[in-house]
Amino acid sequence: MRGVEGERDFDLVLFGATGFTGGLTADYLAANAPATLRWALVGRNRAKLEAVAARLAAAGGSAPAPELVVADAADRAALDEVAASTRVVVTTVGPYAFYGEPLVAACAAAGTDYVDLTGEPEFVDRMWLAHHAEAERSGARIVHCCGFDSIPHDLGAYFTVQQLPEDVPLTVNGYVRSNAEFSGGTYHSAINAFARGRQTLATAKRRRQAEPRPDGRKVSGAKMGLRRDQRLGGWVMPLPTIDPAIVRRSAAALDRYGPDFTYGHNLVVGHLATAAGLAGGVGVIGLLAPLPPTRKLLLKLKSPGEGPSAATRERSWFKVTFVGEGGGRRVVTEVAGGDPGYTETAKMLAESGLCLAFDEGLPETAGQVTTATAMGDALLERLQRAGISFRMIEDGAPSGNGAAQSATP
């Protein structure tokens, strides 16, 4: 079923290394992967691949020089060959809704593990409907959302649950803060997701109808609105990203989340005007993105290959605070790191690929699975060693008066 070392040419191949985030992922792998790594950079332009390889060679690092493989993301036959040659595929080529499916299909058929950094709900649901069963049969682990969407939230909730009693109802709420810029790729994915709102809802409905629910257990989302939270020191508003869906899927798959698990996902901002501006901006984009002329104008505002300078990334940070409660216990935890959209996303993506390629004792899973389900403690330990912090802030009994919705900043 799943390939073992020696049976395939590569441990890992990276698609998209000629792009901004893909280039950072290649840099991270070259600098931090083991000297035994057998890897390749894959793209459609050999000259650009050679330029990336030259940059990696000049920088040095622990990993050997990668091989270069020319393959187009739309060429299924070429993708089949690449998938059959490696144990793990890592890809940054998006928007995934337009370019991602052939590679997922090739990996599912070949029994090859796959990781990406998508945050596109429609794509993830569509891939589950189309390729989950095939991946289960072949032994492939298809792991989407291995960047800031959704590792800090998925593994942060997982880490928080581990601090709470077992076999009792649990509630966890996540609160996101960051000073970073959205990437060009994330912006384009968001605009296209708004443009495909009806398709996204229809695909989600089809998945809900087809996907089995946990037997004898309940998983749900918290119902919250805009509010001021003194303990958090800001305004809290629901954050409708793919992250809460990923957390709930981990909870549905893992008994450790208890018989009745509830998760809420929120953004924390300093001022009411900021919250209003964000809500208004989302509303305007929701109206304009479905219309082709205005969508085209919106997409021109930011290139998918754009990224901030190294100095800007160095100043950027994120913190996600989790408040968990259940069984008479209340804990507050935090996941924190540097620039989420680029530097830390590249790190998380690369470590996910290395985890699947090299770590022993991972859970026995196959099909479309989450990071917590597929890698759990092993990836958590990797990210901590790589400088992303997972820590306990408070541990005690519930304080009442909405304690599960508040945390010390």
DSSP letter string over 79-108?
HHHHHHHEEEEEE----HHHHTHHHHHHHH
Calculate the average pLDDT of the chain.
Answer: 91
Confidence of residue 84 (pLDDT cuts 50, 70, 90): very high
Whether 100 shows a pLDDT value over 90: the answer reads yes
Give the model's confidence band at 3: pLDDT under 50 very low, under 70 low, under 90 confident, else very high. very low
**CATH, domain 10-148+343-384, list 3.40.50.300, 3.40.190.10, 3.40.50.720, 3.40.50.11290:** 3.40.50.720
Give the DSSP H or E segment for 388. none
| pLDDT of amino acid 122 | 96
Token output for 354: 């290395």
Under 8 Å between Cβ of 79 and 71: yes
Chain mean position to CA 282? 21
- Assign 369 a pLDDT band (cuts: 50, 70, 90): very high
* pLDDT tens digits, one per residue of 239-288: 989 999 999 999 999 999 999 999 999 999 998 898 888 888 878 888 88
213-243, pLDDT tens digit by residue?
999 999 999 988 899 998 888 999 999 899 9
Range 314-330 average pLDDT: 95
Distances (CA, A) of 230 to 179, 227, 263, 276, 407: 20, 10, 21, 18, 9
> Is the pLDDT at 68 greater than 70, yes or no?
yes
Confidence of residue 177 (pLDDT cuts 50, 70, 90): very high
Instruction: List the beta strands (DSSP E) in 96-166.
Output: 113-116, 141-143
Residue 30, pLDDT above cutoff 80 = yes
Examine the pLDDT at 38 and tell me if it is beyond 90. Answer: yes
Q: Return the pLDDT at 182.
A: 67
Q: For position 204, what pLDDT does the model report? A: 96
| pLDDT > 70? residue 407 | no
Q: What confidence score (pLDDT) does residue 87 get?
A: 98
pLDDT for res 190: 78
With cut-offs at 50, 70 and 90, classify the pLDDT of residue 398.
Answer: low
Band of the pLDDT at 194, cuts 50, 70, 90? confident
- Of all residues in the chain, the percent with pLDDT exceeding 70 is 94
pLDDT band for position 321 (50/70/90)? very high
- In this predicted model, what pLDDT tens digit does every residue of 113-151 receive, in sequence order? 999 999 999 999 999 999 999 999 999 999 999 999 999
Mean pLDDT along residues 30-57: 97
Asked whether the beta carbons of 164 and 326 are under 8 A apart, the reply is: yes
pLDDT at 372 over 90: yes
Q: What is the pLDDT of residue 305?
A: 64
Going by C-alpha positions, the residue among 297, 70, 113 that lies closest to residue 195 is 297
Confidence of residue 4 (pLDDT cuts 50, 70, 90): very low
Give the per-residue pLDDT at 192: 81
- The CA distance from 375 to 385, in Å, is 15
Instruction: Compute the distance between CA of residue 304 and CA of residue 255 in angstroms, rounded to an integer.
Output: 39
Instruction: Check whether the bond before 389 is cis (ω within 30° of 0).
Output: no
- Report how far residue 253's alpha carbon sits from residue 263's, in angstroms, rounded to the nearest whole number: 15
Instruction: pLDDT band for 409, please (50, 70, 90 cuts).
Output: very low
Q: Each residue of 158-173: pLDDT tens digit? A: 999 999 999 999 999 9
Contact 176, 267 (CB under 8 A): yes
Radius of gyration over alpha carbons of the chain, in Å?
21
Q: Which residues contact 358 (CB under 8 A, 6 or more apart)?
A: 11, 34
Residues above pLDDT 90, as percent of the chain? 74
pLDDT for residue 39 is more than 70: yes
